Amino acid sequence: MTEMPYRTALVTGASSGLGRGLALWFGKRGVKVYAAARRHDNLEALAREARVTGADIEPVALDVSQAEPTLERIRALDDACGGLDLVVANAGVGGQTDARHFPWEHAKRIIDVNVTGAVATLSAVLPRMVERNRGHLVGVSSLASCRGLPQNAAYSASKAFLNTFLESLRVDLQGTRVRVTCIKPGFVKTEMTAGIRHVMPFLLESEPAVELMGRAISRGAAEYGFPWPMDRAVGLTKLVPNFLFDAVASRVL
């Protein structure tokens, strides 16, 4: 097992799915993990499971949609552990936002969590990482960020924001030892995708998806999209003219 370049890590959205998997993945490799989410009972169960394997995972009750409390809580964790080495902004929500019947309340929730919550998580101790000249910021985006997907205006846009935000951070941090990684999963079998009824190409089970993500983060990849056939296909859609993309995409769902 490769030695981890981190002593401590914070993973948000860790009560289920990819966040839960990442918390265990890093915990089993000797990293002290602060697993954060709203569902504290799920986090307690995760911590108990981790102890059986010798992993050190500490539950942290956190709702990233509340930006100010999120900033304060993460800074307090940073103080308590002597500096977070890795911060993974994984917490996210999805769901349809059809323009014909646009659900403002749900769109706001997506933006509060996927945009405001992610920025609060990633920026909370960024100045301290720069001062320490070490650290790693990771944002979990999505291949759905490639273009405006049908009935997903809020979700696709929220992840496109995260892509650009992380890229700008990466550029600004050139010349420092603070790294930035943007992870773009395709379809993975989790709670978030459980309600999707349309075809999900190259659908991955959670465990292999977590393995791919963990390895990409550990090697400090700037960007990593997976599975690779879906990543390549999505990249090609950027070359499709708008009139053709609109005609095809509007018939997908």
CATH number, residue 153? 3.40.50.720
pLDDT tens, 169-198?
Answer: 999 999 999 999 999 999 887 666 556 655
Provide the b/e sequence for 79-112 (b: ≥16 CB within 10 Å): eebebbbbbbbbbbbbbbbeeeeeeeebbeebbb
Total domains in the fold of the chain: 1
**In-domain check, residue 84:** yes
Give the per-residue pLDDT at 189. Answer: 79
Query: At residue 230, does pLDDT exceed 90?
Result: no
230's CB contacts (< 8 A; 6+ apart) are 143, 186, 187, 201, 202
**In-domain check, residue 129:** yes
Q: Is 6 an annotated catalytic residue?
A: no
**In-domain check, residue 1:** no
Sign of CA dihedral 38, 212, 29, 32: negative
Residue 182 — φ and ψ, nearest 5°? -115, 120
The pLDDT confidence band at residue 231, using thresholds 50, 70 and 90, is confident
**In-domain check, residue 203:** yes
**In-domain check, residue 235:** yes
* Residue among 6, 34, 155, 224 flagged as catalytic: 155
pLDDT tens, 56-99?
Answer: 999 999 999 999 999 999 999 999 999 999 999 999 999 999 99
CB 159 within 8 A of CB 142: yes
Q: In terms of residue numbers, what domain contains 99?
A: 8-249
Structural element, H or E, at residue 239? none
Determine what percent of the chain falls in helix, strand and coil, rounding each to the nearest 5: 50, 15, 35
The pLDDT confidence band at residue 250, using thresholds 50, 70 and 90, is confident
**In-domain check, residue 46:** yes
Residue % of the chain over a pLDDT of 90:
77
Query: At residue 108, does pLDDT exceed 60?
Result: yes
The pLDDT confidence band at residue 233, using thresholds 50, 70 and 90, is confident
**In-domain check, residue 2:** no
**In-domain check, residue 180:** yes
Q: What integer is the mean pLDDT of 121-129? A: 98
Q: What is the mean pLDDT of the chain?
A: 92
